Amino acid sequence: MDALWMSPLPSSTAGEDEASAAAELRRGPWTSEEDAVLSGHVAAHGEGRWNELAVAAGLRRTGKSCRLRWLNYLRPGVRRGGFTPREQLLILDLHSRWGNRWSKIASHLPGRTDNEVKNYWRTRVQKHAKQLGCDVGSRRFHDVVRNLWMPRLVERVHADDSAAAAASQYYSASPAPAACQNVAAAPATVGNCSARAPSPDATSCVTGSSSSSSWEASPPPPAQFQTSSPPAVAAGWAATTDQCQQNGCSSSATSGGDMFDESWSELLARANHDGAESAGLPDFGLGETGDNWWSLDDIILQQPLY
DNA sequence: AAATAATACAACCGCCAGCGA
DNA sequence: ATCGCTGGCGGTTGTATTATT
């Protein structure tokens, strides 16, 4: 697989030490052996000084590459797999506030990296914009997100909370499914996997050898994403669910990680047929970009997020 | 079953800011 | 003051995987 990418570049002739050293740098996917070396070295000596670390560990990688590999993949607690509806909601909301500040957004998603958030935005969100034939920064897309996508996510989160409540009662009397047992030690405040009913997300809650250390190191999620919704929030979600149904959203949750397996054109057609104005859908038109077009504050909570 | 397209994700690159010599 | 090093960040690319024809 890595024959092309991983093989060292052709070595230089004698007397070209610097060029030779540079030529021996490896690029491309990391091997499990390299991962083990890097993890072991970080465990023994700590993070930082990545250039020195790369040399000391005997890795033919740049310090930058080592740092990236550690932060995005090897670091204990890094979570992989599809984003939960909660996380998707949070990304949409925070992006509306901060734009492409991926690192800042990721800091509010425990275990997620800026790279993952960025990839999510580019693959999922921009895909939907493309389906709509508009730009992610356009007013049209912002309106769709605000009036269709986010309410649907809220609906899904609400459903998951209900399922979690039922599951927690069930699992209190029976062993947790294997997929979630490895995160049993994670604080219950993180609502993505713990105490949830089995779901596709459950299999990808936490990877890596350690599942607890960075949960503790990560910043806590916003209060409304920690445990079951407080009554006021739940009421807001219920109201939003009604709005969502008016908009024509299906009440059935999609099976995958993405909320919109259904085509945008169908959703829009249904929403507009049902009465776009009454449902809060504006007359769509391509508009200019702007900041903070939508927000969970407006759509759900009527109170500050943070 | 094979070919092709679409998607997801890992990794690299360039730029910039902070910091110490 | 400035120079070099380091780390952080956002953008982009390349590849593996999955879905579709």
pLDDT at A266: 60
Whether A206 contacts A183, CB under 8 Å:
yes
What confidence tens digit (pLDDT) does each residue in A248-271 have? 333 333 333 455 544 555 666 666
**Long-range contacts formed by A298-306: CB under 8 A, 24+ apart:** A298/A146, A299/A146, A299/A150, A299/A151, A299/A154, A299/A240, A300/A150, A300/A154, A300/A233, A300/A236, A300/A237, A300/A240, A301/A224, A301/A233, A301/A236, A302/A236, A303/A232, A305/A93, A305/A222, A305/A224, A306/A222
Residue–nucleotide distance: A81 CA to B7 C1' (Å): 14
Query: What band does A98 get if pLDDT is binned at 50, 70 and 90?
Result: confident
Residue–nucleotide distance: A3 CA to B15 C1' (Å): 31
Percentage of residues in chain A with pLDDT exceeding 70?
47
Residue–nucleotide distance: A25 CA to C14 C1' (Å): 18
Q: Which nucleotides of C are covered by protein (CB under 7 A)?
A: 5-16
- Residue with more model confidence, A166 or A38: A38
pLDDT at A227: 34
Per-chain mean pLDDT for chain A: 61
What is the token pair recorded at A293? Answer: 């077009």
pLDDT at A129: 77
Of the listed ranges A35-39, A94-98, A134-138, the least confidently predicted one is: A134-138
- Residue with more model confidence, A246 or A196: A246
pLDDT at A210: 34
- Assess whether A116 (CB) lies less than 7 A from strand C: no
What pTM, to 2 d.p., does this model score? 0.62
φ/ψ of residue A294, rounded to 5: -135, 165
- Assess whether A118 (CB) lies less than 7 A from strand C: yes
For the residues A223-247, what does the mean pLDDT come to?
35
What confidence tens digit (pLDDT) does each residue in A150-182 have? 878 787 777 777 777 777 776 565 543 333 333
pLDDT at A84: 83
Asked if residue A306 has pLDDT above 80, the reply is no
